[in-house]
Amino acid sequence: MATVMVLANETIGGGKLLQRVRDRAAEGDVRYYVVVPQSRPRHGNIIYDEVVRDSAQVRVDLMLEALSDLGIEGAGEVGDADPFNAAMDVVRAQKIDEILVSTLPATSSGWLRRDLIERLQEATRLPVDHVVVDIEREGLPFLVTLVVANLTVAAPELIERLKALAAEGDRRFIVVVPQSGVHGHAVRDARERLRKLLDSLDEADIVAGGMIGDPDPYTAVMNALQYFFISEIVISTLPEGSSQWVADKLVERVQAAGNLPVEHIESRAGAEAGA
């Protein structure tokens, strides 16, 4: 069985990439190994390593979910921030027979400006296939809903709304839980809240991935919009009068900056931590 390494980042889930994966699988026994380099966020004054790694892991998980839906065997990992180093680390660690690189068009791809395809061909002496995915023009073959919540992640109002959205059609959900502070326990607490919501969605057979985010919810949203091609946003807060996010006009600020549909879900369960 041939092992094909898929190296991709923003273009994960793109229709042309998935079609190339299907076409190669139709040629014979093949397994895929997905590698997603970590990406430095463009927003926020502090870089949180956990957030950077989480965002890449979500992209790995979503691609593996897509492979599973196609009945194709796959595994994967988060790689070095440099895509060349990320690919070479895998080639050195295990037997790779082919490489499939997915990039944005040449006009907007930093990977192509750094001659990534040619460098991999020269360094590995392996067949390197290249597929261009224009996410901005082509979109994705499914909708992607960004869900932003903190201590309200387990609220029934939010969970029921997400179930209703999932019933409307093919969707993927990406959950972002901002850390409630900068101390070590804040990461642990955010992960626990994230796990609760992901477990609830998994029980409902809803495809979702999740990550912790910057303590500032607005920054967390802006970084998520950098990492993923988002169709719509759902923000969960406490009611007006008891929510710092509402007081800070988070929903209005996200609407103005993201130019996307933003739905605000008020919940009386729990209490979100303001930034």
Binned at pLDDT 50, 70 and 90, residue 261 comes out as very high
The domain spans of the chain are 2-137, 142-266
Residue 31, pLDDT above cutoff 70: yes
For 196-219, what is each residue's pLDDT tens digit?
A: 888 888 888 888 889 888 889 999
User: In whole angstroms, what is the distance from residue 220 CA to residue 146 CA?
Assistant: 11
For 90-109, what is each residue's pLDDT tens digit?
A: 999 999 999 999 999 999 89
Residue 273, pLDDT above cutoff 50: no
Would the CATH topology of 2-137 be identical to that of 142-266?
A: yes
Binned at pLDDT 50, 70 and 90, residue 135 comes out as confident
Backbone angles phi, psi at 100, to 5 degrees: -115, 115
What would the mean pLDDT of 5-15 be, rounded to a whole number?
A: 92
What would the mean pLDDT of 231-250 be, rounded to a whole number?
A: 92
pLDDT of residue 240: 85
Residue 122, pLDDT above cutoff 70: yes
Q: Regarding predicted confidence, which is higher, 51 or 132?
A: 132
> Cα–chain-centroid distance for residue 39?
11
pLDDT of residue 45: 57
CATH topology of domain 142-266: Rossmann fold (3.40.50)
Q: Share the mean pLDDT of the chain.
A: 89
CATH topology of domain 2-137: Rossmann fold (3.40.50)
Q: Determine contact, residues 155/127, Cβ cutoff 8 Å.
A: no
pLDDT of residue 275: 39
Binned at pLDDT 50, 70 and 90, residue 272 comes out as very low
Residue 274, pLDDT above cutoff 50: no
pLDDT of residue 237: 93
Q: Report the length, in residues, of the chain.
A: 275
Residue 48, pLDDT above cutoff 70: no
For 154-202, what is each residue's pLDDT tens digit?
A: 889 999 999 999 999 889 999 999 987 666 677 888 888 888 888 888 8
pLDDT of residue 184: 64
Beta bridge partners of 236: 265
Please state at what angle helix 49-69 crosses helix 217-227, rounded to 10 degrees. Answer: 40
